[in-house]
């Protein structure tokens, strides 16, 4: 059975369609990534699945319960954490845990077990009496996650949980998400960090409120089959790009750091040879050039571009 | 059962937040006492040492006795005694005197015969409030003097003729402090509980904790009760504080039942907290909530409830509007319990109106706050 099943989910704000007929399934224990630029409709979709926002159309079934019919039933079975880790800043770490435990109706033994679990999980054992306001970003975020899963929900929604957090803390946080998944918890997480998508079992790319692509990262990269990405390191990248854009076999070019990526509808060997000839013929010195595996960023840009067209 | 537990957890959390907020603590505990002292001392409408000029055309024992009586009163100071009423004008024009008293010739003689006598009192009306009070004092003083003369007359003779026309009830000391302090209590409760509750809810909206709470099994009514109850508690603490200072320090008489006062205060708090909840549903930032409360609710209430300006003096078109204000009813209740010592048998219409107001605004606010979820 699917943990989450979404069918034609739609949300309109006046004339604006924020989420447009979204359809997908999330398996139990899966880490499911929602990828998309800001304003793509990721948060709106998540808020509907959590029962915070009424859908304009379509259905979302979470943990076997129809959100539209019984939002309160869904709320008992999920954990939710948004980009603003919502803790009470004037309360201490311990008080925050006790507060949310009380709201979730945890008592005595279970409260103590879960309290210790959250403290350990967030690495805050020795800082129980520090006010939440005085915690650094990474700690607050881990405590936020801990408070959201105090009641051991089988499904967890994380809306851009790693926004504004340093890379080390992000890595640490993803370790926690992997741990949840290993214990059978289903995690739906939105992000616009593409490196984070590599942690997800499957990824849905959302663009303009629509599902633009769905699959494992390997599957998404394979969508590039039949085409090649040639990475070019050249002395004058701007000139190189102009020359490449003029070539009929080059679909598009984009800048990747100091290099230029060209998507070419040719076999790798042939593509590399053709491009080298063209660039050197145009007077651009090529330092290094060769086919590369498409990164998720290539895929994302490609999908976004095609969805726009 | 589990609902009550969740409410208790919310109240516990709210009280910790209140305690941890130093500024708020000052507002809740220090501000009421400060306000009370400010209004209790500075803002009384009592007047002392009103400068009086007397034109004594009589120059008899009786007229001199009257002047001496004015001079002995703490409310008046005689600045000068002249002989002709024509000489009075410059004193009033230059502001050297606020009140001029003209004693006609033959005053003492007439008094002795028991003939009614008219005294002319001229007052500077440019500060109407103080002058009104001063005239009240003057009338009282003259009447008191007349009574005394009457008591001194041999039995069977005609009573002398300065008729006491004005009598002051309930606040015979005419001490405006006794009247102001219950009003301050009503106003403080309104300002503190309405502002704190609306800002407390909007703050959770701003920070995002409200959304976090919305994805928990917490029900709507639990959230509302859990958010409002702590501020009702704060309100009751303030009532105790203000009552203690009013009775022990300012010695304002508390003639009625304290139990009734607390019970009706709870009814009043339904209005102020309901108003706070309502404001929170129409505001998205704390500043907005505060400004909305002050300009759309507090200021009209201060002006129109009878807190400062007597309702009877308002234009006839405005007077019906005052029935829309909960503060009006609570002011009547408070002042009546304090000064008249009356009970529910007299106050029930006001208590009923107050309860109706509270239930109406609470229902409206709750309806609005649930709809916003969709």
Give DSSP secondary structure letters for A10-56. Answer: EEEETTEEEEEEEEEEEETT-EEEEE--TTSSHHHHHHHHTTSS--S
Number of domains in chain B: 2
Q: Are residues B180 and B295 in the same domain?
A: yes
Q: Are residues B64 and B39 in the same domain?
A: no
Question: Rounded to the nearest 5°, which phi and psi values hold at A233?
Answer: -105, 115
Residue A299: is its pLDDT beyond 80?
yes
Q: Look at strands A57-62 and A210-215 and give their pairing.
A: unpaired
Tell whether B167 is covered by a domain: no
Residue A124: is its pLDDT beyond 80?
yes
Kindly give the parts of chain B with pLDDT less than 50. Answer: 155-160, 163-174, 373-374
DSSP category for residue A171: H
- Residue B168, pLDDT score: 37
Q: Are residues B193 and B310 in the same domain?
A: yes
Q: Is A108 on the interface with B (CB under 8 A)?
A: no
Last residue of a domain, one of B120, B152, B184: B152
Asked if residues A26 and A43 have their Cβ atoms less than 8 Å apart, the reply is no
- Quickly count: other Cβ atoms within 10 Å of residue B194's Cβ: 29
- CA dist A25 and A79 (Å) reads 18
**Residues facing A263 on adjacent strands:** A229, A252
- CA dist B359 and B350 (Å) reads 14
Q: Is A164 on the interface with B (CB under 8 A)?
A: no
Choose among B1, B7, B27: nearest CA to B199: B27
Q: What is the CATH number for B142? A: 3.40.1710.10
Residue with tokens 């926690």: A176
Q: Are residues B221 and B333 in the same domain?
A: yes
Q: How far is A63 from chain B (nearest CA, A)?
A: 15
pLDDT tens per residue, range A177-202: 999 999 999 999 998 888 888 889 99
Which residue in chain B has the smallest CA separation from A157?
A: B215
Contacts of A78 in chain B (CB under 8 A): 215
pLDDT tens per residue, range B2-48: 788 999 999 999 999 988 887 777 777 888 888 888 877 765 666 77
CA atoms within 13 A on the CB side of A294: 27
Q: Do B17 and A86 touch (CB under 8 A)?
A: no
As a whole number, the mean pLDDT across chain A is 88
pLDDT tens per residue, range A209-239: 898 889 998 888 887 766 888 888 988 888 8
Is 3.30.70.100 the CATH number for A225-293? yes
- Residue B172, pLDDT score: 46
DSSP reduced 3-state for B153: coil
**Residues facing B103 on adjacent strands:** B56
**Residues facing B35 on adjacent strands:** none
Q: Are residues B273 and B326 in the same domain?
A: yes
Q: Are residues B199 and B301 in the same domain?
A: yes
DSSP category for residue A295: P
pLDDT tens per residue, range A151-180: 999 999 999 888 778 888 889 899 999 999
Tell whether B122 is covered by a domain: yes
Q: Which of A102, A110, A133 is the best mutation test for B, with the most CBs of B within 10 A?
A: A102
Residue A308: is its pLDDT beyond 80?
no
Choose among A135, A155, A184, A186: nearest CA to A73: A155
DSSP category for residue A92: B
- CA dist B272 and B285 (Å) reads 19
Split at pLDDT 50, 70, 90, the class of A5 is very high
Contacts of B374 in chain A (CB under 8 A): 54
Contacts of A90 in chain B (CB under 8 A): 16-17, 20-21
Q: Are residues B113 and B245 in the same domain?
A: no
Q: Are residues B14 and B121 in the same domain?
A: no
Q: Are residues B181 and B146 in the same domain?
A: no
Tell whether B126 is covered by a domain: yes
- Percentage of residues in chain A having pLDDT higher than 70: 99
Tell whether B58 is covered by a domain: yes
Q: Are residues B188 and B284 in the same domain?
A: yes
pLDDT tens per residue, range B127-159: 656 677 777 788 778 777 777 776 665 544 444
- Report the residue from B2, B21, B219 with minimal CB separation from A90: B21
- Residue B202, pLDDT score: 92
Tell whether B253 is covered by a domain: yes
Asked if residues B200 and A90 have their Cβ atoms less than 8 Å apart, the reply is no
Contacts of B218 in chain A (CB under 8 A): 103
Query: For A2-216, which CATH superfamily applies?
Result: P-loop containing nucleotide triphosphate hydrolases (3.40.50.300)
Q: What are the structural domain ranges in chain A?
A: 2-216, 225-293
Signed CA dihedral, A12, A16, A21, A23: sign only: negative
Which residue in chain A has the smallest CA separation from B220?
A: A72
- CA dist A253 and B6 (Å) reads 57
Q: Do B374 and A75 touch (CB under 8 A)?
A: no
- CA dist B300 and B342 (Å) reads 28
Measured CB to CB, residues of chain B less than 8 Å from chain A are: 2, 5-6, 8-10, 12-13, 16-17, 20-21, 207-209, 211-219, 373-374
Contacts of A103 in chain B (CB under 8 A): 6, 9-10, 213, 216-218
- CA dist B332 and B300 (Å) reads 17
Asked if residues B138 and B67 have their Cβ atoms less than 8 Å apart, the reply is no
pLDDT tens per residue, range A62-110: 999 999 899 889 998 999 998 776 789 999 999 999 999 999 999 889 9
Q: Which domain holds residue B205?
A: 2-43+175-371
| Beta-carbon contacts of residue B274 (< 8 Å; ≥ 6 apart) | B358, B360, B361, B362, B364, B365
Asked if residues A266 and A272 have their Cβ atoms less than 8 Å apart, the reply is no
Q: Do B216 and A103 touch (CB under 8 A)?
A: yes
Contacts of B8 in chain A (CB under 8 A): 102
CA atoms within 13 A on the CB side of A121: 27
A2-216 and A225-293: same fold? no
Which residue in chain A has the smallest CA separation from B11?
A: A99
């Amino acid at each position: 059975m699917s943990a989450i099943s979404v069918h034609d989910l739609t949300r309109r704000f006046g004339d604006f369609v924020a989420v447009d007929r979204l359809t997908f399934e999330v398996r139990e224990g899966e880490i499911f990534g929602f990828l998309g630029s800001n304003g793509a409709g990721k948060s709106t979709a998540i808020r509907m699945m959590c029962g915070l926002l009424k859908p304009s159309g379509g259905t979302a079934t979470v943990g076997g319960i129809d959100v539209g019919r019984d939002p309160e039933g869904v709320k008992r079975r999920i954990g939710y954490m948004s980009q603003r880790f919502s803790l009470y800043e004037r309360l201490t770490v311990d008080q925050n845990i006790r507060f949310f435990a009380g709201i979730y109706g945890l008592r005595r033994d279970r409260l103590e077990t879960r309290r210790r679990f959250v403290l350990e999980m967030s690495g805050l054992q020795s800082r129980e009496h520090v006010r939440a306001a005085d915690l650094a970003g990474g700690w607050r975020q881990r405590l936020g996650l801990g408070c959201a899963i105090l009641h051991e929900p089988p499904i967890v929604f994380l809306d851009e949980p790693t926004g504004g957090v340093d890379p080390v803390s992000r890595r640490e946080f993803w370790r926690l998400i992997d741990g949840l998944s290993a214990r059978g918890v289903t995690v739906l997480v939105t992000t616009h960090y593409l490196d984070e998508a590599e942690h997800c079992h499957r990824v849905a790319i959302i663009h303009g409120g629509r599902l633009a692509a769905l699959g494992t990262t390997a599957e998404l990269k394979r969508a590039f089959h039949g085409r090649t990405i040639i990475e070019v390191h050249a002395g004058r990248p701007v000139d190189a790009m102009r020359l490449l854009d003029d070539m009929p076999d080059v679909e598009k070019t984009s800048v990747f750091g100091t290099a230029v990526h060209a998507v070419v509808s040719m076999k790798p060997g042939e593509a590399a040879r053709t491009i080298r000839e063209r660039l050197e013929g145009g007077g651009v010195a090529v330092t290094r050039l060769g086919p590369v595996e498409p990164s998720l960023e290539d895929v994302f840009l490609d999908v976004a571009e095609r969805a726009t067209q | 059962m589990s609902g009550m537990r969740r409410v208790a957890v919310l109240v516990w959390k709210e009280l910790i937040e209140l305690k941890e907020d130093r500024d708020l603590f000052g507002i809740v505990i220090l501000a009421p006492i400060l306000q009370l002292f400010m209004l209790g001392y500075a803002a009384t409408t009592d007047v002392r040492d009103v400068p009086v000029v007397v034109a004594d055309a009589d120059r008899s024992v009786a007229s001199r006795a009257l002047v001496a009586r004015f001079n002995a009163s703490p409310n008046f100071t005689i600045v000068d005694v002249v002989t002709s009423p024509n000489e009075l004008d410059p004193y009033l024009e230059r502001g050297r005197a606020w009140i001029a008293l003209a004693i006609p010739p033959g005053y003492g003689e007439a008094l002795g015969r028991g003939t009614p006598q008219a005294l002319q009192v001229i007052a500077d009306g440019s500060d109407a409030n103080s002058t009104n009070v001063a005239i009240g004092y003057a009338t009282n003083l003259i009447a008191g003097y007349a009574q005394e003369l009457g008591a001194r007359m041999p039995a069977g003779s005609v009573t002398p003729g300065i008729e006491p026309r004005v009598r002051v009830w309930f606040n015979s000391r005419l001490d405006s402090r006794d009247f102001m302090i219950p009003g301050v209590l009503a106003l403080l409760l309104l300002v503190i509980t309405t502002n704190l509750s609306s800002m407390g809810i909007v703050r959770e909206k701003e920070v995002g904790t409200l959304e976090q709470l919305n994805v928990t099994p917490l029900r709507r009514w639990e959230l509302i009760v859990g958010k409002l109850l702590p501020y009702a508690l704060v309100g009751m603490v303030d009532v105790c504080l203000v009552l203690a200072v009013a009775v022990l320090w300012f010695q304002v008489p508390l003639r009625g039942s304290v139990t009734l006062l607390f019970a009706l205060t709870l009814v009043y708090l339904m209005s102020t907290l309901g108003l706070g909840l309502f404001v929170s549903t129409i505001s998205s930032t704390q500043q907005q909530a505060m400004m909305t409360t002050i300009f759309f609710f507090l200021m009209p209430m201060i002006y129109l409830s009878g807190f400062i300006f007597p309702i009877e003096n308002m234009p006839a078109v405005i007077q019906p509007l005052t029935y829309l204000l909960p503060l009006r009813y609570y002011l009547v209740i408070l002042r009546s319990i304090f000064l008249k010592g009356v009970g529910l048998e007299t106050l029930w219409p006001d208590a009923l109106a107050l309860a109706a107001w509270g239930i109406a605004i609470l229902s409206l606010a709750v309806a609005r706050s649930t709809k916003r979820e969709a």
